Chain A
Amino acid sequence: QKEVEQDPGPLSVPEGAIVSLNCTYSNSAFQYFMWYRQYSRKGPELLMYTYSSGNKEDGRFTAQVDKSSKYISLFIRDSQPSDSATYLCAMRGGMGNTGKLIFGQGTTLQVKP
């Protein structure tokens, strides 16, 4: 079993829809949770960063972490065609961790105009 599981999709939605992307993980030591966005033929770029459990909102994006369920989510409101990309979750441990990130497989999202 992989440490981080993410449905690869693809996920296709109409413009304006609310998108929900999810990851589950098995390592209870994970403390820091990230979402990266990767456009085709580009490197990943950091989109959201959260510590421990809770919600974080940034514009149309909301990240949620439920450590009790080992489950994280990224919500995109009013989705736009420019949101079409692959979204990767990533996570790592807390104090003492050397910075090694564990990534999910990535979910490919297509937003149709």
Chain B
Amino acid sequence: DAGVIQSPRHEVTEMGQEVTLRCKPISGHNSLFWYRQTMMRGLELLIYFNNNVPIDDSGMPEDRFSAKMPNASFSTLKIQPSEPRDSAVYFCASSSGMRNEQFFGPGTRLTVL
């Protein structure tokens, strides 16, 4: 199994630019989670989906952040416009049920200059 796949692995962009992070969950998993990790705030859940439907987006910081899951094998997290305080590592995780073990991808390291 290839595990959770995220792209890009690293992204450097300038303030004001649009950033799109991508995630392919493990085949057969029906729950998908987006997290953000920083030194100051640790690992925070941004949003999660079950069967492609957003269940809880209370962790999305503001309207500049949006996430979609058009099908069971693909999800995106978009930041528009990006700001320096968005610099963090963004993880995608998937599980075979909302309450089951979450498997994390390798993360996307985002730097906004």
Q: A residues engaging B (CB < 8 A)?
A: 32, 41-46, 49, 88, 92, 97-101, 103-106
Instruction: Describe B's contact surface by its main secondary structure.
Output: strand
With A49-B101, A99-B98, A100-B48 in contact, is A43–B42 under 8 Å at CB?
A: no
Query: Is B25 part of the contact surface with A, judged by Cβ < 8 Å?
Result: no
Interface of A is mostly: loop
A101 touches B102 (CB 8 A): yes
Complexed CA–CA distance, A99 and B29 (Å): 14
* Residue from B31, B42, B106, B107 in contact with A105 in the complex, judged by beta carbons closer than 8 Å: B42
Interface digits, B77-102 against A, CB 8 Å rule (1 contact, 0 not)? 00000000000000101010111011
How far, in angstroms, from A98 to B33 measured CA to CA in the complex? Answer: 12
